[in-house]
A = this chain, B = another copy of it.
Amino acid sequence: MPGPDIIIAVDAMSGDRGCEPVVRAAESAVSENRALRIVLLGSKAILEAFLMRDHERIEVIDASQVVTMDERPSHALRHKQSSSMAAALRMVAEGRADGCVSAGNTGALMAMGRSILRTYPGIDRPAIIKRVPSFTTPTYVLDLGANVDAGAENLFQYAVMGSLMARAIEGIENPRVALLNVGAEDVKGNEQVRLASHMLASQSTVHYIGYIEGDDLFRGVADVVVCDGFVGNIALKTGEGVAELLRDLIRLSFTRGWYGRLIGLLAAPLLKRLGRRMDPALHNGASFIGLRGVVIKSHGNADTTGLNAAIHQACSEVEQGIPKRLSESLEQIDF
């Protein structure tokens, strides 16, 4: 017997590539998941023009404003309450959707999320968390840019939330939590990181394993890696940039000269499998954790494949009941 439908509200207007890839991603997502219903928020006239045909599980709700990428969060908060972004968050707050997805301005999404959905007790600020593939087991990294000046208290709260997330989604009993730092020794790092390390070492709720460095970020040595949003954003984007650069280099190696082209042809199946493991679009979609509801942030310039992955991620967090489990677990923690 099929379970109840999952409703995901999708902000269709705020990404870098406009609304067409969002509409295509919604169409493919509902065809891939028969329990999924999508509400597209944005200009009704434009969105309906892009929709291939009437789809019984895709609804369009008009939202007249758009939050721009260079808008100050405070400005969006004051003047863009009728935007597609605010409307998507409000659907979750009012229980009319189970979760939402936006490819828009991160700072504005954070500010509006805090104002419309609010955070859980004990959590001062939400964080952006992402499941990052590694050689062995995946790693949850947070914060990836929700806040650019986290104090030790914030880092501690991130550790608690990340640990709960890894437990809920990956089923790891006691996830290994590490702090990202410039060295593995005690004396290394800035004040916030050293203080957070001290706080984590003095409690037993989170299985704290100490510092890790950047080169261990994708090695699966920890289940959860905690850092300030400024550092996390730059580290993850640098990693993605290097992966993309190397994909280009490999492609070049196997398309240049007659020998390169010949080997490239013979190696095509291997390269294709390798390419799939390295494709960032398949890993698109990060969660705002700490908000009372499922909010998925897609890359601003995500294409249809990337946006589709972000919608499926929202579904999977709803299916796993992340908000409820997070809230229950947080109640048991003495902050």
Q: How many copies does the complex hold?
A: 2
The reply to whether B235 and A215 form a contact with Cβ atoms under 8 Å apart is: no
Chain A contact surface mostly:
helix
Q: Is A135 an interface residue (CB 8 A)?
A: yes
**A191 near B233 (CB under 8 angstroms)?**
no
Contacting residues, chain B, for A237 (C-beta < 8 A): 213-215
A215 partner, pick from B149, B185, B241, B270, beta carbons under 8 A: B241
Are A267 and B278 in contact, with the CB atoms below 8 A? no
Nearest chain B CB to A136 CB, angstrom units: 11
A253 touches B241 (CB 8 A): no
Q: What 1/0 mask marks residues of chain A from 242 to 255 whose CB sits below 8 Å from any chain B CB?
A: 11111011100110
Q: List the B residue with the shortest CB-CB distance to A187.
A: B72
By the criterion CB–CB under 8 Å, are B248 and A135 in contact?
yes
The size of the chain A interface, using a CB distance under 8 A, is 65
Question: Which chain B positions have C-beta within 8 A of A267?
Answer: 254, 263, 267
- Residues of chain B within 8 A (CB-CB) of A238 are 214-215, 217-218, 235-236, 238-239, 242
Residues in B whose Cβ lies below 8 Å from that of A104: none
Nearest chain B CB to A308 CB, angstrom units: 21
| Cβ–Cβ < 8 Å partners of A227 in chain B | 234
Q: Are B248 and A270 in contact (CB under 8 A)?
A: no
